[in-house]
Structure 1
Amino acid sequence: MVDVEMTIYHVLTNNLEMSELYKCPTNMTTNLIPRPIIGSYFLVSGIALIIIYLPCFVVMIKSKCRASSYQLMMLLAVFDLTSLMVNSVTTGVLGIMGASFCHYPLFVFTAGSIGLGSWMGGCVVCILLAVDRCVEINSNFPLAIIFHKQVFRLVMIVICIYWVYASFFTNPLLFTAQYSSWFFDPFIGKEGDLYHNIPHTINNLLVSASSTPLYIYLCYHLIFKFGYSTSMWLYRSKQQIIIQAVILCFFHATAAYIYVYMQFFPTPSWLIIIGQLAWQYSNGCVCLAYWTLNRTIRNAAIRMMLSKRIRKRFKLHMGIDEAIAAERDGEVASVSNVMNLMSGTAKATMTFNNEMTLYFVLSNGLDLGEMYKCPPNMTTPFYPRPIIGAYFLISGIILTIIYLPCFLVMLFSKCRAPSYQLMTLLAIFDLSALTVNSIITGALGIQGASFCHYPLFIYCAGAIGMGSWMGGCVICILMALDRCVEINPHFPFAFIFYKPVFRFTMLVVCGYWAFATFFTNPVIFNVQYMSWFFDPNIGKDSDLYHNIPHTLNNLFVSVISTPLYIYLCYHLICIFGYSTSMWMYKSKQQIIIQAVILCFFHATGAYIYVYMQFFPTPPWLIIIGQLAWQYSNGCVCLAYWTLNRTIRNSAIRMMLPKKIRKRFKLHMGIEEQIEAERNEGNNVVASTADTIMAHTAKVAPFLMETTM
């Protein structure tokens, strides 16, 4: 429950007197900690973003358009400008001074209340903007009723009430100069748990869980439902909407996750700064999107700020009227030339073609279909990439060597719980994928070979890599479900892990892997970009090679896995409460870290590979996509070795003889720990040694069960 004495409402109704929980002790020393560099950055960047944002805000206010999207954008601008004043300008000033809460308690308290209210209000507006976009492209969208005239007025009132509640009736964020960021804990010597803001936590989890599926739905409709247009304007418009959606969703989700994590766990300084930057740009990226991607607002803002003479001098033709006038004066190309550039024939899209699959190749005497036959007159020079090729080859071999002991441990384990079976199958998919996306990628990169140098080998490798990726995606979703069932036996999908149903589930997963490997077109290696594409680049239309099952797989894995991991983290943080047990605390923290890492790499790889299919992609983003694919498989074994003590200990037992483990004091298991204690007992008083051994023996059976 929210304590009213910890809110700005209490301060305003109590003659600006703060609660005892926020009164700095008189004997407390509060030294200034100036941080001039990072403080200057926040101050300068905040002022710059506000200056950039203000013309867009004024344009929206002056506009006669009163569509629901414009009203939401205006309200969002109010929240964003207010937030930027707190998370950038105020942060910068206090950072340069080195002042924290106890130096200016009332000012920092008030600023934190305003900043928190603006953040939570802005989150709701961003969700509604995403819903509005979905309604624009699909009038039958379930939530379209929200934007009916009478209902929308009520919605706007509810948003304002929510902002008032967040600002005046929840405990605020407070600035700490040591980290150049804002925390709920004022750091005045009281227990940090007293200052947790549960409404803020729920807000952050909900905004991530709801906005991500909405933006994925939006991108899916733009890509698939609207088809492929020959109009350059429509193509660019679709591309810009998708870019805006991805950027806005990324910054909001990042800030939301990090600020929830900061409330409940010790957080390193670099992650705190990333959270602060994500909060800043969750507000600032909106105005940058207006200036770079929203032509209507950009043109109106330039019209408002610059006179017609200046616009004409620098050829800033804002609007069709000025463009026509410029054409008459010979300043721009004629309309006919522009239309010729925009015109073209419609490209026919192809549905599933059996001749493009590995099944066809195997059943046709290893002869590739016509779509993958390199023209005899085509020159394919080698294009060696030794540095990045060596990286992928070496890192792939290292990750495989690290993964193999964990795989053998799971394979020879007597445990046959659903989680172990899923982890074993995931290891098979991961090792297969690492062979393709790391080792084969590295070897081909060093050599400089592409598809036409080794067509059959690359074709088969791409099919195996594709099947391993899609099969691994399903396993990761099932593992997330299994985790949720472990912490909540009443979870709706618990029946999947009942013995007869789970066997059928495993058969379905294997069937899905077989379909993805043998009955969809594979990814093909391109050495120029050091990545794998569906288009073999042999001169045919790239639209013929789109893999729709892969696209749907990637969208679904992002939509499903993100809410599941959020649900998991929410239960661990909020439902299970706070444990005084260090083991329980570390276990919860490790599960959350594993969930975030696995979800991040899978979602990043999925989004980028979908984008690469349909839009021109810069080389740096292609490399990021390749790395995300590599570490979506490789991060699992790293998690086993660093966070999963059971598998790590078993792997060390398997690889190292007892003599070596004893020499380096690698006591893997309670029985070796007891033996080590007995050996060390020779140097200790006998009675003390007996006491230690007796107590150890009492807890041994419990510990042995928990480490199996």
Structure 2
Amino acid sequence: METFIDSSKYESLYSCAHLSAAQWRDHAVYRPNATLPCIVLGTFYAITYIPCIFVHLKKRFIHKPCHKLMFLLGLIDAASLAANIFTYGALYAEGVSFCQAPTLLYILGVVTQACWAGQCLTAVFLILCNLITMYSKCFSSKIFGGDRIFIFYGIVAVYMAYFAIFTKPLLFSSVTILPSYDPYAHIFGEVLPADRNQYFNWEALMNNIAFISFLMIALIVFVTIICRTKLQVKKGVQFMIMRQCLFICVLNMIPAASFIASQFTVIPEDTAYVLLVGWQFAIGGRGMLLLYFSKSFRQGFFDVIFNASSLSKSGVVEQSPLMYIPCMFVLFKRQFFRKPCYKLMFLLGLLDISLTINTLIYGVLYAEGVIFCLAPSLHFILGVITQTCWVGQCLTTAILIVVKMDIILNPSEYNRLYSCQHLSRVEWAQHIVRRSHGTVPCLILGTIYMIIYVPCIVVLAKKQFFKKPSYKLTFLLALLDIILTVISTTYGIVYAEGIIFCAAPLFHFILGTITQACWAGQCLTCVIILMERVVDFCSKPTAARIFGGRRTFAFYAIVLLYMIFFSAFAKPLIISPQAVMPTYDPYASIPESVIPVDRRQYLNIAALFNNLIFLVILLTAFMALVVFICRTKIEVNKGVQIKAIRQCGFICILNVLPSAFLVAAQFVSLPVSMSYMGLFFCQLTIGSRGILLLYFNKSTREAFFDLIFNIKSLPKASVEPSPPWI
């Protein structure tokens, strides 16, 4: 960092005075293809890796030196996860070059270089620890045992500090894709005549070469020790250890080799994408390897995730106001507080803090089992505060939603985003595209789905079904599906007439708002249903405590609030005959040369996160359910296992594909054929659940035919404990 502190040296190396701001922008390259894997993989790695860090702290692991070193490696990986995956994803989306944000990228580069050096050295210590332990456990305990392990913590910290202070940073570059030590790596010498040799980082080169050499030697020694050892170990254990070492070597060697190559040559774009994914996997993939290779670690992971072994006696999960309080100070800053919506959010924050403190007090009361007559004054005052804050919270939220509906209520904001003044009515008519291929499936499939699905809703509302939590949640999902089915049928008319946004803007806007809200509600309801299924598999009493009785309606309220948020704060999902698939851009498929509007302002961050998180949760829940079913010791028939896995697979495929299409549509223009495919999958997801419900569930099928044909079923159809198609 002495380069950053010494302004003259910093200016000689990282000056941005060579070109103007406009010229620097011309050299920036937007990388949506790199943004998506960064965000998706980063979210997945965070979900799998961060709990693993806490698992290392458990008593049965932390007393071992290797787990102490792995805990340190996990902390460094977590820092890299934030700096080099999530942050890089945002920077790729914006196409930022060094001179557009020099201070940010310089500091980020320092953190990147220091974390990579720390990762390398910690991995070396970890392999040394394992090697010495295999050779002699007694000798290993003398070197790494007890508090002596923290000496290695200190060495790693000093090593990272050296790379942060005395070496050149590893700078982000949207052009070269992989980070580079040269801030002008993407600019030719004749445009910017700077000596590129001065950016050569000898320390980083030696670190990477030494790291690769050590890994190769360690792998050879490891394999030799395992194969020739006289210790009585099983052949399977030998193979497992060799495989782990191989994975560790490959994971770390790929980014090390890419950093060496980038100092000598320009890496092709396709290769750079592959190396970027490999580097990110080296950062975040260790969590998956730990879960895959270690059964005890896997059990500890599920303990952390599901709080299986650390629930309090009262069963209450405490909430902390400490995460919310800093947000209150941020809202109170002048640049935020002068806006009405932030003033209302500040008031809402105060009410939320009060209710959060109440929940902490409730936790103590639950633990002590304090009833009203043991502390009547406390209970009464606490109840008055809770009721008052809750009413105030509801009213403030309602006012905030009305204030934030600025797109409709604020004509200037609406005209900025959805103005139809760019072209005349005749010019808009030239962009009309009639999609007869989209009309027929929309109308036919919509009618079929309505005929099958509407009676299913009536069946689910019957007493023998509706008393069970899973059927209540399925009933809510069915209502949302029916609304979206009606909308998709309306799409058929829009496709037939080629009605573009500016032909009926208010109609499109309201229809898009309803579509976005219902899709968000559908996603959240699916997640809640999957949670209910997973919890029910793990523990039926716990599932009854969380989802039983009227408590299911609390989840109804959560879904409703989630839908209100998307209808008020997110941009609508507008149907576009030109693009076939619904889109957030009202001018989709119209060139920017015709309508000079910045299309990036239509990026819907809320919807993007909803779809990405939905994808990750669905896939994670499906994998967890499959693992639980396959590894459970409960005596279940093999046919039941296969049936449950198959049904979960159907649900995952149904919901994953439309989410993936909606994510992709925000970054790239999909071909027409692929858009038709995405539209088909959206309609299949919305309407086919009724067919699946009838196919997989015998009791609902009997009730369905009873309703349709007015058959008096004798004897009464037995009700399955839960809809297994979920």
Coarse TM-score class (shorter-chain normalised): 0.3 to 0.5
TM-score (structure 2 length as normaliser): 0.44
TM-score (structure 1 length as normaliser): 0.45
